[in-house]
Amino acid sequence: MTTLLSLKNLTKRFGGLVAVDHVNFDVEAGAIVGLIGPNGAGKTTVFNLITGNYRPDEGDVIFDNQSIKTLPTHKIVSLGIARTFQTIRLFHKLAAIENVLAGCHCRMQSGSLAAMFRTPTQRREEHQALQTALKELEFVGLQSQADQLAENLSYGNQRLLEIARALATQPRFIILDEPAGGMNNQETAALIQTIRNIRDRGITVLLIEHDMSLVMEACEQLVVIENGAKIAEGDPQAIQSDPKVIEAYLGTDEE
């Protein structure tokens, strides 16, 4: 097993608040890993540190043996890390297909001149991107809604559309921030299968989720953080019976 992502002493402070406190963990290539913890534990902040939306105050983010902590977000995406957002961030006024084409962007080359002169390369690339986008929509089961505006999709489908957009960047690693948020049981069950299918494409998955049934069923490894610090790590069975986790997380949560 090779390590794809490695967080080393990752720390982020917001004023006096230590949102992420010397967090260390590795994600093995090909795994499905869950990052869990109570509200405000710092999970989303960890994601934002990985994708370069925030800069760490201490520590490092190593992806594929390379430090990425100073790279701009779009570079990190083109290296192969894709993400979805906890609060859905689609391009609401644009069609579903265009949202996915946004993901295709970083694997395309044509610039403004090629567009104005509509070179053969540009046209071929556009055609290929459209094919990729349709394929990713099909993968998440939204092909029939390709020309719908993103804002007109159901909440659950908007989450799937974000996943399709992320997949269109052809990532090696995908991070999903509460992908089941707002989904009903049926949708969640289908999502678990989709997550497995993503992994079967050779893409490593790291996800944040409050829905414990999803976490326990889909993830092979869990990392638990509380108040910014890692308090436990292991397979779902071990985590479920870890007294520290029960006290800090499961005990305080009413689910």
Partner 1 sequence: MKDKRLVIYAVISVVLLLSPLFLNAYWVDVLNNVGLYTILALSLNIILGHAGLFHMGHAAFYALGAYTTAIINTTYHIPILWLLPVSGLVAGLAALVVARPIIHLRGDYLLIVTIGFVEIVRIALVNNVFGITGGSNGIFGINRPILFGWKINKPWEFFYLIWGFAAVTIFLFNRLENSRFGRALNFLREDDVAAEGSGINTAHYKLIAFVIGAFWAGMVGNIFAAKMTIIAPESFNFWESVVLFMIVLLGGRGSIRGVILGAFLVLGLPEIFRQFATARMLIFGAFMVAMMIFRTEGILPPLPRKYPIAKMLGREGSA
Ligand X SMILES: Nc1ncnc2c1ncn2[C@@H]1O[C@H](COP(=O)(O)OP(=O)(O)OP(=O)(O)O)[C@@H](O)[C@H]1O
Residues near ligand X, by CB under 6 A: 14, 17, 19, 37, 39-45, 86
List beta partners, residue 96: none
Torsion sign across C-alpha atoms 203, 50, 229, 225: negative
41 vs 239, beta carbon nearer ligand X: 41
44 vs 158, beta carbon nearer Mg ion: 44
Which of partner 1, ligand X, Mg ion, none binds 118 (CB below 5-8 Å, type-dependent)?
partner 1
Does position 48 bind Mg ion by CB under 5 A? no
Does position 45 bind Mg ion by CB under 5 A? no
**Alpha-carbon distance values, 60 to 66, 71, 222 (Å):** 10, 12, 20
Torsion angles phi and psi, residue 51, rounded to 5: -90, 5
44 vs 99, beta carbon nearer Mg ion: 44
Does position 120 bind partner 1 by CB under 8 A? no
Tell me the closest approach of the beta carbon of residue 54 to ligand X, in angstroms: 7
In sequence order, what E strands does 136-228 have?
A: 173-177, 204-208, 221-226
46 vs 150, beta carbon nearer ligand X: 46
Does position 91 bind partner 1 by CB under 8 A? yes
Q: Letter for the amino acid at 69?
A: K
**Alpha-carbon distance values, 109 to 7, 124, 125, 243 (Å):** 32, 11, 8, 52
Residue 185: is it exposed, middle or buried by C-beta count within 10 angstroms (0-12/13-18/19+)? exposed
- Binds Mg ion (CB under 5 A): choice among 86, 110, 148, 213: 86
35 vs 68, beta carbon nearer ligand X: 35
12 vs 230, beta carbon nearer partner 1: 12
Tell me the closest approach of the beta carbon of residue 20 to Mg ion, in angstroms: 12
Question: Of 6-45, which residues contact partner 1 (CB under 8 A)?
Answer: none
- Binds partner 1 (CB under 8 A): choice among 118, 124, 196, 201: 118
Does position 89 bind partner 1 by CB under 8 A? yes
d(Cα 103, Cα 50) in Å, to the nearest integer?
18
Which of partner 1, ligand X, Mg ion, none binds 40 (CB below 5-8 Å, type-dependent)?
ligand X
